[in-house]
Amino acid sequence: MSNEVKSPEAAFKARGEGVSPPSKSAGWEASPAGALKTTLVLLITIALGDRFLPPTIPVSVLFIMPVLTSVWMRKRSVIFSTATLAMILILTNLDLGDKNYDRVHTIASAGVSIFILWTTVSMGCMWLSVQRELVRSQRTTRKTLTNLAEGVLTVDQDQRIVLMNPAAERMTGWELGDAKGRALAEVVQRERDVILIPGEGVPSGQGEVLISRSGEAAPVEVSEVQFDIDDETSGSVLVITDASERRDREGAMLRLAYRDRLTGLPNRASLSDRMDLEFAHARRAKALLGMLFLDLDGLKLANDTYGHKAGDALLVGFADRLRSVLREGDTVARLGGDEFTVLLPDLDDASNAGLIADKVLVALKEPILHDGKRLWASASIGIAIFPRDGDSGEQLLERADEAMYEAKQAGGARYCLWGAREEAPVS
């Protein structure tokens, strides 16, 4: 859902890179109390000066000096007070002392002239200050957009490109000169993509990829902010973020969650997701799916005789032996302790599961070396076949477990088929 702001500047500010309005200069704010005080002081000063100053000294000096001082001190209240007093003198025809109206009028005119001059100069200075602030803000905005790692694009109300920063040019493969005026959908091509856990082939969700002009795809995150003027939508700002690093970090964390820490094999969670995928495929293709349940014989003896490090070495060696004899598409997982499973998709015949189990048993005839010691182990294997022995992953796993128990009861180092109660020791 897009958020709406009132201007393009506010749209950029929503990303932390907005154009701030020019700040007011400190000290130029009018204070009513200060203006009142200054007016009283000026009235008293003018009255006293008009009474005691020689006729050769113009009373307008009493206006000029406070005004100049106020300008130097940046006290706007004095200026306003001077202008107020001048208007009072004009409107009331105040006659100070024995002076006539002409002199009072001259004094008032001088005050008004000074006020107008000060106002003109002040407005000019403020205008120049605003212009400098705007230029500074524009430079800051351009520099910020240039240095941003995110791609920023601005489009008009017709969804046509108006602006692109260098990062957006790199991501899309379009230069601003070529992209300007083109439809957004032509320059920014986005597609939904299934995110797979690295090394697992298991989906973890959906993401978005950006297809560049050269056809390269990169994971991204795209956010859009609309801006309007006078309550009418006038355009949008798109921010494109490269999600490769974040996707890699999340993938690495998920991979750890789906892997057995000791052997590096998929764990029970990974096996569950894989079973869902393989069972769905087997149902669609009406294919055979095999399940091996393996229990390592001799792990307790290794732990008791040589310690748990030797037991861990035996488990790791067993995992390596399993991987060496399985097909590329087979999934081997460690459930915990000395229990392992192998998922066998697309079997040509149910008997092929027995052939693979026999390869595992033969591979274990060779000892596993650890710290100069020869460790020996075998395995009891149970086999169940979909759809013959079960119609779900959990059911097939349960029945393969039952078949494994039959093989162990028979002495181990063999495999057993569920249902048929066939026992096949290693040859």
Q: Is the pLDDT of residue 371 over 60?
A: yes
Q: Over the stretch 268-296, which tens digit does the pLDDT of each residue have?
A: 988 998 899 899 999 999 999 999 999 99
- Pick the last residue of a domain from 251, 282, 313: 251
- Comparing 260 with 39, the larger pLDDT belongs to 260
Query: How far apart are the two ends of the chain, measured CA to CA in Å?
Result: 66
- Pick the last residue of a domain from 84, 118, 140: 140
Q: Over the stretch 298-344, which tens digit does the pLDDT of each residue have?
A: 898 889 889 999 999 999 999 999 999 999 889 999 999 999 999 99
Same domain, 186 and 286: no
Same domain, 374 and 416: yes
Same domain, 169 and 53: no
Q: Is the pLDDT of residue 100 over 50?
A: no
Question: What residue numbers bound the domain in which 301 lies?
Answer: 262-425
d(CA 389, CA 384): 6
Quote the strand ranges of 301-413, DSSP E: 331-336, 339-347, 368-370, 373-375, 378-386
Same domain, 268 and 207: no
Q: What is the CATH number of the domain that holds 191?
A: 3.30.450.20
Q: Give me the percent of the chain exceeding a pLDDT of 70.
A: 65
Residue 48 resides in a domain: yes
Show the 3-state SS of 242-256.
ECHHHHHHHHHHHHH
Same domain, 373 and 269: yes
Same domain, 333 and 372: yes
259 DSSP β-pair partners: 266
Same domain, 246 and 268: no
Residue 7 resides in a domain: no
Residue 27 resides in a domain: no
Packing angle of the helix pair 308-325, 299-306 (nearest 10 deg): 140
- Pick the last residue of a domain from 140, 161, 180: 140
Residue 145 resides in a domain: no
Helices (H), 216-350: 244-257, 268-285, 299-306, 308-325
Residue 15 resides in a domain: no
Residue 233 resides in a domain: yes
pTM of the model: 0.53
Residue 53 resides in a domain: yes
Q: What is the CATH number of the domain that holds 396?
A: 3.30.70.270
Residue 401 CA to its chain's centroid (Å): 45
Q: Is the pLDDT of residue 60 over 80?
A: no
**Count of domains observed in the chain:** 3
Same domain, 320 and 197: no
